[in-house]
Chains A and B, each alone.
Chain A
Amino acid sequence: MSDSRLTVFKTYKLYVGGKFPRSESGRVYKVSDPEGKWLANVPQSSRKDARDAVVAARKAFGGWSGATAYNRGQILYRVAEMLEGRREQFAREVADAEGLAESEAEAVVDAAVDRWVWYAGWTDKIGQVVGGANPVAGPFFNLSTPEPTGVVAVLAPQESSLLGLVSVIAPVIATGNTAVVVASAARPLPALSLGEVLATSDLPGGVVNILSGRTAELAAPLASHQDVNAIDLTGAAGDAASAKELEAAAADNLKRVRRPRPANGGGDGEDWTADPGTHRLTAFLETKTVWHPTGALGAAGSSY
């Protein structure tokens, strides 16, 4: 390849409803690496973009929550496959976003791939772990089953642009919810590229919607949106006052709220390399308990 060849820049776009729109506002903002070198102009989403994303997520909810857990697991695993195939691209983007050395960034991407695989395996197991038959004192068949809560707004971690991002999205959709994700404000490029991975992973459009922009501007309308069922405030970890306001706004329709881990002086407040456990899966699950009479046959319990 000739040294004089000019590279082709990528126009970063949002990922909403399975499509790649620009922000309806027409706004973009500059994204730079930690040294201040310009990387790209990315869409600065508006409140309208956030509302559009909720509509897309709601539309996708019926199909995604109704898919079999096995099918969801297949698709999540497919995401891992697609991400693995783009390892170099993501390593570069993560290195640029987080100021990491090449090998460190590769380790981050590997961990992100592994995290998709971990959650892919959970889709058809969580129901057995947290649900089950209840031995009630009466002639009833009584079963508790976990079900997705609905549309979940996710404020992605501000620092961990890929591993943290994957760690908050995968558990939400593994359990059958759909997500509206607000990417890290300063480090959105891996998130916007992840949209491209999701779009080619058999994931139905609208299951994950990714917005870039100012977190505070997008979080407020999502926290008060009456058709959002839950909000993950992880990305507000560095701003306790804002997290409190968002939680209070979420009370208007009693959204499930996942509070951020306190992060003194900014950051995510989380160790994304640690074993994730099941917390992020159960945080966005409801429990439905169904009762049915068994009848009380005279022969039940008789000797044979």
Chain B
Amino acid sequence: MAFAFDYAPAPESRSVVDIAPSYGLFIDGEFTEAADGKVFKTLSPSTEEVLSEVAQAGAEDVDRAVRAARKAFGKWSALPGTERAKYLFRIARIIQERSRELAVLETLDNGKPIRETRDADLPLVAAHFFYYAGWADKLGHAGYGPDPRPLGVAGQIIPWNFPLLMLAWKIAPALATGNTVVLKPAETTPLSALFFADICRQAGLPKGVVNILTGYGDAGSALVAHPDVNKVAFTGSTAVGKDIARRIAGTDKRATLELGGKGANIVFDDAPVDQAVEGIVTGIFFNQGQVCCAGSRLLVQESVHDEVLDALKRRLTTLRLGDPLDKNTDIGAINSAQQLARITALAETGEAEGAERWTAPCELPSSGYWFAPTLFTGVSQAHTIARDEIFGPVLSVLTFRTPDEAVAKANNSQYGLSAGIWTEKGSRILAVAGKLRAGVVWANTFNKFDPTSPFGGYKESGHGREGGRHGLEAYLDV
């Protein structure tokens, strides 16, 4: 489909962010090299350009960081809540001040469009710190007893799809409740956590309260296993989540696990088609589909299947894929070569198993990791692409005839994180929402997040909730 006219490039300036050629680990308030001197490089997924070199934490560094966090725990947890709150408010404010810089940095390191880092990630990051800052001096009113106590040292492991937002989800409630943290960002997106370390210094946060260890899975594994870690918070794959659950069995360690999903986005025949199509696009193409709660299974009522699919394809041809720093870009780069290979392989499996593939017509840049928005029709519940989490811009379309069939198909998954419902009929929304086995249900909207709102899954999508009053429980001895 040809456009009447092209958009002029509208790139956001890179000059607002100053990336150093190398970074150390952030332990006890200082940047330091890894004990064995190992480093690794972090790339910009849209250009494959090396952004920086960061220290690679090993078991010895994990031990050092946990000891620093333990040492800091006594004083931090003994601070009056109002004082802890003020530190968190400071952090929230500094994030707002440096929001432009962090948005550009995140886009460079992750590959997601600046439109999303600027308008979704960063405002939510600041909002999370504001929200939990307010809880720090009100914990006695949270419903967990008059004087709930922190757990101690929290070991936190976050993924690469929302590096700074996941950091905020983990660190804000932990600090508000008086815990100290050792956080390991993903190996492909370490930079924003290191910039956050600098924010902690600007905020005057006591040394050792927040420690950041950049590194690979082995560092995360050592963190989970460390005997002096009281709480494990993990967001990532279900396979790793199960492994963590096994390894902390028989210990006193608490865990919250935010794992995979295969969200069903259910479109009934009375749904307003244009709005539903926008919701489908948001559901699966937001952040290149690299979202655990993505609406990756579209369930369309049979009678409107063709109409919805036509409108959806028409809409997808207008999505702009390319330079993530361009303010007009809708679809950025896939985060890593490894992830691109996984998405590619699963899409090929979809074709091999007989589903019909349709790909939005767009030119892929010659360097970087790219995958055009893709949908599969004629998908059955047995297809791999209807069961496995793809974590990419790939939508599987299934059909249904009755609300009961929609519910049965939506619930036919090992996962239970999210779901969407599109219908004009309020009673149908309530009936279907009530029957869906999912932690978050979006009715006539999708992929909305808010710090006041608990988020988390049923079944193999994990344990516990993050966000809201519920998110405090994970960090309190209750």
CB–CB B238/A254 < 8 A? yes
CB–CB A138/B443 < 8 A? no
Question: How distant is the Cα of A293 from the Cα of B446 in the complex, in angstroms?
Answer: 10
Which of A40-48, A199-207, A244-252 makes up part of the contact surface? A244-252
Number of A-B contacts (CB under 8 A): 106
Min Cβ gap A213→B in Å is 24
Which of B65-73, B165-173, B244-252, B350-358 makes up part of the contact surface? B244-252
Chain B's interface size range is 35 or more
**Cβ-neighbour of A254 out of B438, B463, B470 (below 8 A):** B463
If A254-B257, A254-B460 touch, does A289 touch B448 (CB 8 Å cutoff)?
Answer: no
The reply to whether the CB of A180 lies closer than 8 angstroms to some CB of chain B is no
The reply to whether the CB of A291 lies closer than 8 angstroms to some CB of chain B is yes
CB–CB B448/A291 < 8 A? yes
Which of A14-22, A97-105, A127-135 makes up part of the contact surface? A127-135
The reply to whether the CB of A118 lies closer than 8 angstroms to some CB of chain B is no
**Cβ-neighbour of A138 out of B242, B433, B448, B478 (below 8 A):** B448
The reply to whether the CB of A158 lies closer than 8 angstroms to some CB of chain B is no
Mark B121-144 against chain A: 1 for CB-CB distance below 8 A, else 0.
000000100000000000000010
Question: How distant is the Cα of A303 from the Cα of B462 in the complex, in angstroms?
Answer: 46
If A134-B454, A287-B439, A288-B438 touch, does A254 touch B462 (CB 8 Å cutoff)?
Answer: yes
CB–CB B441/A130 < 8 A? no
Min Cβ gap A160→B in Å is 23
Chain A's interface size range is 35 or more
- With a cutoff of 8 Å between Cβ atoms, the chain A residues found around residue B99 in the complex are none
Mark A269-293 against chain B: 1 for CB-CB distance below 8 A, else 0.
0000000000100000011111111
Using CB atoms, name the residue of chain B closest to A292: B443
If A130-B143, A247-B250 touch, does A142 touch B453 (CB 8 Å cutoff)?
Answer: yes
- With a cutoff of 8 Å between Cβ atoms, the chain A residues found around residue B257 in the complex are 254
The reply to whether the CB of B456 lies closer than 8 angstroms to some CB of chain A is yes
CB–CB B250/A137 < 8 A? no
The reply to whether the CB of B445 lies closer than 8 angstroms to some CB of chain A is yes
The 6 closest A-B pairs by CB, nearest first: A244-B250, A251-B245, A247-B249, A136-B450, A248-B249, A251-B246
Chain A residues with a Cβ under 8 A of chain B? 129-130, 134-138, 140, 142, 144, 149, 229, 240-241, 243-245, 247-248, 250-254, 256-257, 279, 286-293
Of the A-B pairs whose beta carbons lie under 8 Å apart in the complex, a sample of 15, sorted by A's number, is: A134-B450, A134-B453, A134-B468, A136-B450, A138-B450, A140-B445, A142-B450, A286-B439, A287-B439, A287-B456, A287-B470, A288-B438, A288-B441, A289-B453, A290-B442
